[in-house]
Structure 1
Amino acid sequence: MSQITDNITDIRQEIADTCKKLGKKPEEVQLIAVTKTIEPERINEAIANGITDIGENKVQEIMDKYTLVSPINWHMIGHLQTNKVKYIIDKVKLIHSLDRISLAEEIQKRAERINRAVDVLVQVNIGQEETKSGIEPDEVYDFVAALRPFSYIQVKGLMTVAPYKEDPEEVRPYFNTMKEVFERIRAKNLPGIEMKYLSMGMTNDYKVAIEEGANIIRVGTAIFGSRIYRK
């Protein structure tokens, strides 16, 4: 077996072990393979080993790889520029990074043109870091409520990129707070708003994220190894 095959097997087992402790079914947690800088051949190897969903940080990489990768569910997980929505609106299953009304307006316009509702997650800057995108935690409810008039946008939950810590336990409070924000909004039962997915946790901390309520995790390095950045 290849390293990618072994890695996916190990991650699936860790998801199963973590879910067993929580009394959850492993299939309740969706694994998204993060394919930033990963060439199509290796992505296809992951797909051949059971990966059904992949996440890209950049629109250009989706465009470059789209026809070279086996049929798959694509996720836009990185910051999305308004002027690039048109390139991926008909390609992605879920946009994880809705973080401003101007972006919602563009998604609405482009989705209406192709007569297709688009599923989105609202990105939350749970660590309130200046270097990261996302809505401030205490502003999430108002932002989500403001999305209700956008008829071609279907809010399906929340996403966050937590601060990086060597010790995953140090990230737990951020995930815990995200779950609280998620549950508060879900309890409001806003018409047209569905709090179905909580996307949080990456290679270094996905087990803690699952323990704190994540049902989507985004894993790259643990599947493909360290990224190689080309000039």
Structure 2
Amino acid sequence: MNRRLEADGRDMNVYVQVNTSGEQSKFGLHPDDALDFIERLEAFPRLKPQGLMTLAVFSDDADRVRPCFTLLRRLRDQAQRLHPQMTELSMGMSGDYELAIREGATMVRVGQAIFGPRPTPDAHYWPGVAE
């Protein structure tokens, strides 16, 4: 990506995805690896990390969801000490965006709340939204 962006004379703002739920079905870096990865991004100057993103555990139990968001906020705060541009937290979806906002989200993804349930085999991941 960096080579292509260099050839095009462009930069790209990016978010680093962290698997805060520990679920194998989710993508992203292990939380213990996130800060080192962000440091290594400096070798790719066209990629401009702006923040972190995560998908919390899919549950309507706030006590299970909140730790995913709290962990990401802590990691962002640590990263921001070294990289002041790392201000953003992309976390929260239609079923848990209010909790994500309370935990510091600056970006939420609420497509199902706007457009309705997705007709996909994984629709069960959105409790209370995709019936």
Quickly name the TM-score band, shorter chain normalised: 0.7 to 0.9
Counterpart of 1:121, as a letter, is: Y
- Say yes or no: does 1:149 pair with 2:40: no
Structure 1 residue 168, shift from structure 2 partner: 3.4
The TM-score normalised by the length of structure 2 is: 0.86
Structure 2: tracts of 5 or more residues without a match:
121-131
Structure 1 residue 169, shift from structure 2 partner: 4.1
The TM-score normalised by the length of structure 1 is: 0.50
Counterpart of 2:67, as a letter, is: P
Residue aligning to 2:30: 136
Structure 1: tracts of 5 or more residues without a match:
1-106
Q: Which one of the candidate residues 38, 43, 59 is aligned to 1:165?
A: 59
Q: Which one of the candidate residues 171, 179, 186 is aligned to 2:73?
A: 179
- After superposition, the C-alpha distances for 1:59-108 in whole angstroms (9 at most, x for unaligned) are xxxxxxxxxxxxxxxxxxxxxxxxxxxxxxxxxxxxxxxxxxxxxxxx11
Whether the 8 Å contact between 1:203 and 1:218 is mirrored in structure 2 is yes
Q: Which one of the candidate residues 199, 202, 207 is aligned to 2:93?
A: 202
Extract structure 1 runs of 4+ deviating beyond 6 A: none
Give, in whole Å, the separation in 2 of the partners of 1:185 and 1:197: 11
Give, in whole Å, the separation in 2 of the partners of 1:176 and 1:196: 15
Give, in whole Å, the separation in 2 of the partners of 1:221 and 1:197: 22
Give, in whole Å, the separation in 2 of the partners of 1:223 and 1:139: 34
Find the residue that maps to 1:175 and give its secondary structure.
helix
Larger of the two Rg values belongs to structure = 1
Residue aligning to 1:110: 4
Give, in whole Å, the separation in 2 of the partners of 1:200 and 1:216: 6
Counterpart of 1:186, as a letter, is: Q
Structure 1 residue 151, shift from structure 2 partner: 1.4
- After superposition, the C-alpha distances for 1:87-140 in whole angstroms (9 at most, x for unaligned) are xxxxxxxxxxxxxxxxxxxx1122112111001000000112111110100111
- Say yes or no: does 1:121 pair with 2:15: yes
Counterpart of 1:195, as a letter, is: M
Give the total of aligned pairs. Answer: 120
Give, in whole Å, the separation in 1 of the partners of 2:67 and 2:24: 19
RMSD: 1.3
Find the residue that maps to 1:147 and give its secondary structure.
helix
